[in-house]
Homo-oligomer: A and B are copies of this chain.
Amino acid sequence: MTTGVRIILASRPVGEPKESDLRVEPMPVPVPAPGEMLLRTLWLSLDPYMRGRMSDAPSYAAPVQIGQVMEGRTVSEVIASNLDGYAPGDIVLSPSGWQTHAISQGKLTRKIDPSIAPISTALGVLGMPGMTAYTGLSEIGQPKAGETVVVSAASGAVGSLVGQIAKIKGARAVGIAGGPAKCRYVVDELGFDACVDHRASDLAEKLKAACPGGVDVYFENVGGAVFEAVFPLLNSFARVPVCGQIATYNATEWPAGELRVSKLTRDILTKRLTFRGFIVSDFAARQADFLRDVSTWLREGRIRYREDIVDGLEKAPRALIGLLRGENFGKLLVRVAAPGA
């Protein structure tokens, strides 16, 4: 094989991305120089943060430039290696981006042990989303036994782990998810105490009924109307790790909402609330703790996860659009190739 495929950012989306904002194109398979290796992508992770990289609004990371390959984490197989410590057949976590092949010098790359768990979990429950849930909850949310933890996007890669860890810590876990199927999954499969459908017209009332003792930790993935439904329920000294705002990622202007900034800041004062934004790299020092704890919980059957798999790299643009609409159900992955194929 001498031809691969890559997907580049063709134009910056206005509002919801269109498939034409991303262009699928053939690429020559590169040849590794000394000190390099050639990787073949097996799995590409699709994550909400990617919408931010398509935009040039100020954020914590530089945007992808027009004409560049879209950024993304992959699980890849080493095809050829001129790099010490890596041999053909090795499976690695890599920032290869949206392409079938990539050259790597081993930077930001680590080997994956396929005996621990399916290799795709290095992009999900044992990867960036899992560590986001683990660190945001433990460092900022700090749930105590008997407290109530609410998490939005509860069936997703991050939210599903937040609630399960909250349960392990002895807290009550209440999810917010889109639609009855996801809500059933969150309660029946993941073991949350309750889950509320944010598409229901009476979200605020249902959430209040699901949180009779108020909310001590709100793990914020969504923003917008979901945030406004949770906010009045926050107890004194509640903690709000701000992890995502997916409801507004496609917005072309800031939604008005009912809640006023001045009401928000007043309640922060009178209820002594803590709001803190974070991204996973802020807590890089916790990686060993994360891998140890979550691998253990997985092995003990205390943690479950769900993958939503799309086959073929060329499906990635449509899948990302769906992710931002909440159409995925579980950790969204693109299966780019089978190992050893």
A8 at the interface (CB under 8 A from B): no
Report the interface size for chain A: residues with CB under 8 A from the other chain.
Answer: 42
**Which residues from 214 to 257 on chain A have a C-beta closer than 8 Å to any C-beta of chain B?**
220, 223-224, 227-228, 236, 242-245, 248, 251, 254-257
**Which residues from 237 to 283 on chain A have a C-beta closer than 8 Å to any C-beta of chain B?**
242-245, 248, 251, 254-257, 259-279, 282
A59 at the interface (CB under 8 A from B): yes
Across the interface, do B248 and A266 meet the contact criterion of CB distance under 8 Å?
yes
Chain B's closest residue to A245 (CB) is B266
Q: How far is the CA of A274 from the CA of B241 in the complex (A)?
A: 9
**Known contacts A275-B274, A275-B275, A277-B273: A257-B268 contact under CB 8 Å:** no
Contact bitstring A44-58, B, C-beta under 8 A = 1, else 0: 000000001000001
Q: Hey, which chain B residues are within 8 Å of A277, CB to CB? A: 267-274
Across the interface, do B262 and A251 meet the contact criterion of CB distance under 8 Å?
yes
Interface centre among A223, A224, A244, A276 (most CB of B within 10 A): A276
Q: How far is the CA of A314 from the CA of B106 in the complex (A)?
A: 77
Q: Hey, which chain B residues are within 8 Å of A275, CB to CB? A: 265, 268, 273-276
Q: Hey, which chain B residues are within 8 Å of A227, CB to CB? A: 261, 265
A-B contact pairs, 10 of them (CB 8 A): A223-B262, A245-B262, A255-B260, A255-B262, A259-B261, A264-B264, A269-B277, A269-B278, A271-B277, A272-B277
